[in-house]
Amino acid sequence: MGERFQDRVAIVTGAAQGIGAAIALRLSREGATVIGLDIKRDELAALSAHLPRFEAEPVDLASLTDIARAIEKIRGKHSRIDVLINNAGVMDYVRIDLAGLEKWRRVMAINLEAQFHMCRLLAPVMMEQGYGRIVNIASTEAVQPEPHVSIYAASKGAIFSFTRAIAVDLAPFGILANAIAPGCIHTPMSIVNGVDETTTDVFQEWYVGKRKIPLARPGEPEEIAAVAAFLASDECSYVTGQTIIVDGGLTITN
Ligand SMILES: NC(=O)c1ccc[n+]([C@@H]2O[C@H](COP(=O)([O-])OP(=O)(O)OC[C@H]3O[C@@H](n4cnc5c(N)ncnc54)[C@H](O)[C@@H]3O)[C@@H](O)[C@H]2O)c1
């Protein structure tokens, strides 16, 4: 594989597992120094053993103090940050009449506010170097919600608008910002209450058998990583402010 990210420094949030780990692996294999932020210390440490030039940065992204401390440390160590992948997120199913403010605030803090803080705190570094690629991970739940996802969908829908708006702010500085809305991806997040949702009868009958997902299968984290790597690279030179849907066609069917 070529060295698209040689001498590039990339931050990936939620890098300990699932989509974030796949993105960290992909960027690292293509030459990047990857700094992985996650609350799961042990999983991050395990990744360090596999990846060359990988730096583990344990952080609770629900805490601004934690985020600010991590960024200060990273800035002290690295003179440039080329790529920011805002991937960390949590899913919390709850019907709207049962949803409380506490749950709303927690999901918003991790899924949305952390992206806001990472962008606003790292934008000055990218502006000064006149280069940057930002990739925010949203979700197709924002446009085609399942039951009980109002809070999650709101957090992800805001990422579409936030990404469009920062793309305008940052374009004069050579910084491109895009988002990815994954559909149904086979990761630890697709295991709900101990059940892998991609193996249930309903999923197999409706999403696969009846081709609600035209490609008739869940996606793999590596398939999100491939798109993220493009958006994070120099090959992405005329795409900004977009949310790329990567869902096997899920949102094109009724
Ligand atoms: N899996 C899917 O089907 C799917 C679909 C659409 C969007 N997404 C989005 O993709 C992103 C990655 O999801 P995934 O499927 O890999 O999920 P995952 O649960 O496997 O991984 C999420 C990672 O984020 C980390 N994280 C969660 N809260 C954190 C916190 N407070 N501080 C630091 N790290 C924290 C977790 O520790 C974990 O490593 C999320 O934003 C998710 O909403 C996933």
CA of 156 to the centre of ligand 1 (A): 12
Strand partners, 243: 179
CA of 172 to the centre of ligand 1 (A): 31
- Map tokens 């780990």 to a residue: 21
**Residue 2 pLDDT more than 80?**
no
Q: At what angle do helices 150-170 and 114-129 cross, to 10 degrees?
A: 10
Instruction: Give pLDDT tens digits for 6-48.
Output: 999 999 999 999 999 999 999 999 999 999 999 999 999 999 9
Domains of the chain, by residue range, sit at: 9-252
Residue 184: name the closest of 143, 160, 213, 155 by CA: 213
- Measured from the CA of 61, which atom of ligand 1 is nearest? 32
Ligand 1 site-directed mutation target among 41, 187, 222, most atoms within 8 Å of CB: 187
Instruction: Give pLDDT tens digits for 39-66.
Output: 999 999 999 998 999 999 999 999 999 9
pLDDT at 145: 97
Instruction: Give pLDDT tens digits for 166-218.
Output: 999 999 999 999 999 999 999 999 998 899 999 999 999 999 999 999 999 99
- Measured from the CA of 110, which atom of ligand 1 is nearest? 31
Residue of the CA atom closest to atom 36 of ligand 1: 14
**Residue 86 pLDDT more than 70?**
yes
Buried b / exposed e along 92-103 (16+ C-beta atoms within 10 A): bebeeeebeeee
Determine whether 6 is exposed, middle or buried from the number of CB atoms within 10 Å of its CB (0-12, 13-18, 19+). exposed
CA of 128 to the centre of ligand 1 (A): 30
CA of 119 to the centre of ligand 1 (A): 18
Mean pLDDT of the chain: 97
Asked about 131 being catalytic, the answer comes back as no
Is it true that domain 9-252 has CATH number 3.40.50.720? yes
Q: Is the dihedral of CA 103, 109, 19, 219 positive or negative?
A: positive
- Map tokens 């994954």 to a residue: 182
pLDDT at 199: 92
Q: What is the pTM of this model?
A: 0.98
Answer yes or no: is the C-beta of 189 below 6 A from any ligand 1 atom.
yes
